[in-house]
Amino acid sequence: MKVNRRNFLRQSGLIAATPLIASELWSCTPSSKTEEKNTDSTATSSIVSEPSVKEFGIQLWTVKEDMAKDPKGVLKSLVSYGYKQIESFQGEKGVFWGMTAKDFKSYMDELGMNIVSTHCNPDYTMKKETEKEFSKLVDDAASIGMKYLINPFLGSLKTADEWKKAAEGLNRQGEIANKAGLRVAYHNHNFEFKKFADGTMPEVILLDGTDPKLVDFEMDLFWVVKAGENPEEWLKKYNNRFKLCHIKDLYKDEKVAELRKNKAEVMVLDDVSASCDLGTGKINFPKLLNTAKANGVEYFIVEQERFDNTTPLKAVEFDAQYMKKLVFA
């Protein structure tokens, strides 16, 4: 069963009823046009040395279809590949995949894994009436030692004022989570980097409008690069605000052009899906992740959304091998 991300989010109640306006949210005219270019984006090291990321995680969205069929079996496979941390999402079976928080934690312990974070319903940020439901998730997450509850998507917001309200909502969530020893974070796509007519930008509104004591950020490196921005500039400018990152590679320009020419489906957030196996695309992870760690990133989470001539499970095994050899430049 193929799952379309937008349809999943809509069915799960993760997108508000307001329609997206493609011309406003999907096209990017970023202020920083520095593209993530490199001469050796796939390099790990020709000399045998210790990997720079000792423990790395995976966003379970990558293997969502397999998880829906056999969550315990898939988690067992993931740990065998080398993943020690997981980031879940709030799907039909819930954050804990049909298990109680306690039972899920027990299975994690049995495998030697740790659930660090989860993506959860964006309504928790925008609708105060969901506070009771959010508080219940906070309690469950805190009871098993999770670190982060993350808003994954606010693509329905169209104005600067709406994004300011989102910042207020994240602060409110942060206050609730903080009392239980948890943190709240926001995960970007590409539309957060499109400026409004007055020069303001959603990502900046959120970064400047949230309390660093309560709210952190998860940088999706794929989407920052896809927006035409330089991730290293953002990491340095907002030092210690980005505590998690999604390690997701982007096909090189020639391949993207080919996919765009032959595309068989219309994507929601972009004109073509261009996610690829780690190290086969254009993003210089050895250099970029070095900068990320130096500027406060603590959790390195693999994600992939396109699988050419492979399967999600085979792809994440390949990605894990890349991570186990990765040496910072």
What confidence tens digit (pLDDT) does each residue in 300-317 have? 999 999 999 999 999 999
Contact 116, 85 (CB under 8 A): yes
- Tokens in use for 304? 């992939």
Q: What pLDDT was estimated at residue 14? A: 46
pLDDT confidence bin for 269, thresholds 50/70/90: low
> What are the backbone dihedrals phi and psi of residue 82, each rounded to the nearest 5 degrees, phi first?
125, 0
Q: What pLDDT was estimated at residue 192? A: 98
DSSP state for residue 199 in the 8-state scheme: S
* DSSP per position, 128-177: GGGHHHHHHHHHHHHHTT--EEEE---TT--SHHHHHHHHHHHHHHHHHH
In this structure, the strands spanning 57-59 and 85-89 are parallel
DSSP state for residue 194 in the 8-state scheme: S
pLDDT confidence bin for 46, thresholds 50/70/90: low
Mean pLDDT of all residues belonging to the chain: 88
Q: What is the dihedral of CA 2, 21, 210, 34, to 10 degrees?
A: 80
Q: How far is CA 158 from CA 20, 103, 201, 202, in A?
A: 8, 40, 11, 9
Which fold is adopted by the domain 52-325? TIM Barrel (3.20.20)
In this structure, the strands spanning 242-247 and 215-220 are parallel
Instruction: Say if residue 277's pLDDT is above 80.
Output: yes
Instruction: Give the pLDDT mean for 167-196.
Output: 98
Percent over 90 (pLDDT), the chain: 80
The 10 Å Cβ neighbour count of residue 285 is 28
> What are the backbone dihedrals phi and psi of residue 65, each rounded to the nearest 5 degrees, phi first?
-70, -40
Q: How far is CA 68 from CA 4, 62, 168, 254, 325, in A?
A: 14, 12, 34, 34, 30
Distance CA 301, CA 60 (A): 10
**To 10 degrees, what angle do helices 160-179 and 131-143 make?**
40
Q: What pLDDT was estimated at residue 259? A: 86
Q: What pLDDT was estimated at residue 260? A: 84
- Give the residue with greater pLDDT, 313 vs 270: 313
Distance CA 7, CA 14 (A): 10
pLDDT confidence bin for 12, thresholds 50/70/90: very low
Instruction: Say if residue 323's pLDDT is above 80.
Output: yes
Percent over 70 (pLDDT), the chain: 83
Instruction: Say if residue 125's pLDDT is above 50.
Output: yes
pLDDT confidence bin for 257, thresholds 50/70/90: confident
Distance CA 304, CA 307 (A): 8
Q: What pLDDT was estimated at residue 172? A: 98
Instruction: Give the pLDDT mean for 50-76.
Output: 98
Contact 60, 119 (CB under 8 A): no
Lowest mean pLDDT among 62-66, 142-146, 253-257: 253-257
Distance CA 274, CA 261 (A): 12
Distance CA 127, CA 110 (A): 37
Q: How far is CA 25 from CA 17, 116, 189, 216, 227, in A?
A: 15, 30, 10, 23, 11
Instruction: Say if residue 321's pLDDT is above 60.
Output: yes
- Tokens in use for 182? 């948890």
Rounded to a whole number, what is the largest CA-CA distance in the chain? 56
Contact 163, 201 (CB under 8 A): no
Distance CA 150, CA 119 (A): 5
Lowest mean pLDDT among 3-7, 31-35, 81-85, 129-133: 31-35
DSSP state for residue 61 in the 8-state scheme: G
Q: How far is CA 289 from CA 45, 141, 269, in A?
A: 14, 27, 24
Q: What pLDDT was estimated at residue 174? A: 98
Q: What's the whole-model pTM score?
A: 0.86
Q: Can you give the residue ranges of every domain in the chain?
A: 52-325
Q: How far is CA 257 from CA 23, 253, 262, 272, 281, in A?
A: 21, 6, 9, 9, 13
Lowest mean pLDDT among 25-34, 182-191, 199-208, 301-310: 25-34
Q: What pLDDT was estimated at residue 153? A: 98
